[in-house]
Structure 1
Amino acid sequence: MTDPKTHSLIEDAQGILFGTFMASFGVLILTHLGFVTGQTAGLAIILSYATNWSFSAWFFIVNLPFYWLGYKRIGLRFMIKTFIAVALVTVITPILPMFISFENLNPIVGAILFGFCTGAALMALFRHGASLGGIGILALYIQEKTGFRAGWTQLLFDAALFSVAFGLRDFMTVVYSFLGALVVNLVIAINHRKDRYIAT
């Protein structure tokens, strides 16, 4: 009999596909509005605005140093799933604009929608033993070891990144961006608890 606490391969596959698709949709909203965000995705966004390289290229590159931590601290299975998730976002993100565009998107609504979509994406990935790399790996490791919520760790990192963003983007763009990042991290902090959801 299958252990009800363990996800099947098909369940993992759909969870990771859902998570990466929703994350890519979140990036589409973000870049359409010219926003920034936190974590490694935020770093990749800022670098893409400052260079001729795409978000996808930077996102893949900035995550590379964190795979070793994921492997050493959390395990090979987690690292492989995370690598797959990052690779899928890298592929899906530049494809979505071919099929989706926004005629009118209010920045406040867009920020909240980005937050909900990305929060749901990260929840799905976390619950299926993956992340989108970078600070997500570090946040999950800290949560596993200390019980300090992953969302709060990410929120602290985001605060530092947004301090830098104020020197690169206009004030209101950063304010709207922070709203989106706040929603993402609140979704994770409130909903992602190991004692409530233990399947892996």
Structure 2
Amino acid sequence: MRSPISFYDVQGIAFGILMCSLTLLFLKSAGLVTGQLAGLALLLSYVLPLNFGTLFFLVSLPFFVLAWLKRGPDFTLRTIAAVVGISLLAPQLARFISFDSLDPMVAAAVGGSLGSIGVIALFRHGASAGGGTILALVVEQKTGFKAGWFQLCVDGAIFLGAAFVLSWDLLLVSFLGAAVTNMLIAWNFDISQAQRKPAT
């Protein structure tokens, strides 16, 4: 059982929201996608007349029920806060940050690295960045299969859909960016860390 939310958690979740939002700025600016529900929302934003933030919130809604059942109200409320924060901040960042030139490989590497930092920050403070990460945490707790590796598997389905929207070169670069994110999570995060109280 986690303690009531503290300033330590608030700043960690806020930092995670910022890093995840910057990830999406890099990817969207380069015409790339990523995995999990964020990737699905990003992909849909290329073909539907809705922005990423709206789509990300809508596709995350069913997974809040899973979070409530499997991880409890505290984790669910923190995750809702993270999803709402990313949904609101990611589209707004594009109003203030633009790129005259952005190589897709650079966008994938930087975005993938920022994404791993953001997701780990949210994990460590009892939240997640959406439905896929909720499911990944549940799987890791039950089976020991690393959350990052699980997410990499789920990404395959997202990229299969992206193959009908993106060119093959952008699809490959997008996959490399998602691989960076998930490998860094797998190498740098242990699920047990999320259960530890911070030192005081």
2:33 corresponds, among 9, 33, 36, to 36
C-alpha contact 2:38 2:130 (8 A) present in aligned 1: no
1:56 to 43, 53, 57: 53
Q: Indicate the SS of the match to 2:11.
A: helix
Q: Which deviations, in whole Å up to 9, do the C-alpha atoms of 1:108-140 show, x marking residues without a partner? A: 111100000000000000000000121110000
Distance 1:164 1:104 in 2: 27
Quote the sequence identity (%). 42
Three-state SS of the structure 2 residue aligned to 1:11 is helix
**In structure 1, C-alpha distance between the alignment counterparts of 2:181 and 2:88, rounded to whole Å:** 22
In structure 2, C-alpha distance between the alignment counterparts of 1:119 and 1:127, rounded to whole Å: 12
2:145 matched to 1:148? yes
Q: Which residue of 2 aligns with 1:20?
A: 17
**How many residues get paired?**
196
Greater displacement, 105-114 / 9-18: 105-114
What CA distance in whole angstroms lies between the structure 2 residues aligned with 1:74 and 1:8? 15
Root mean square deviation of aligned Cα = 1.5
Distance 1:124 1:99, change over 3 A: same
* Structure 2 runs not aligned, ≥5 long: none
TM, length-normalised to structure 2:
0.93
1:131 aligns with 2:128: yes
Supply the distance in 2 between the matched residues of 1:174 and 1:35 (Cα, whole angstroms): 7
Give me the whole-angstrom Cα distance separating, in 1, the residues matched to 2:72 and 2:4: 17
> Following TM superposition, by how much is the alpha carbon of 1:194 offset from its aligned partner in structure 2, in angstroms?
2.9
Distance apart, 1:197 and its partner CA: 6.0
Instruction: From 158, 161, 173, give the equivalent of 1:161.
Output: 158
Aligned counterparts of 1:97 and 1:161: Cα–Cα separation in 2: 24
Structure 1, unmatched stretches of 5+, are none
Structure 2 match to 1:188: 185
Q: Retained in 2: the 8 A contact 1:6–1:199?
A: no
Q: More helix by proportion, 1 or 2?
A: 2
Given that residues 7 and 199 in structure 1 are in contact (C-alpha distance below 8 angstroms), is that contact kept between their aligned partners in structure 2?
no
1:75 is paired with a residue whose SS is: helix
Match of 1:69 in 2: 66
Q: Aligned to 2:32, what secondary structure does the other structure show?
A: coil
Say which SS state the counterpart of residue 37 (structure 1) adopts. coil
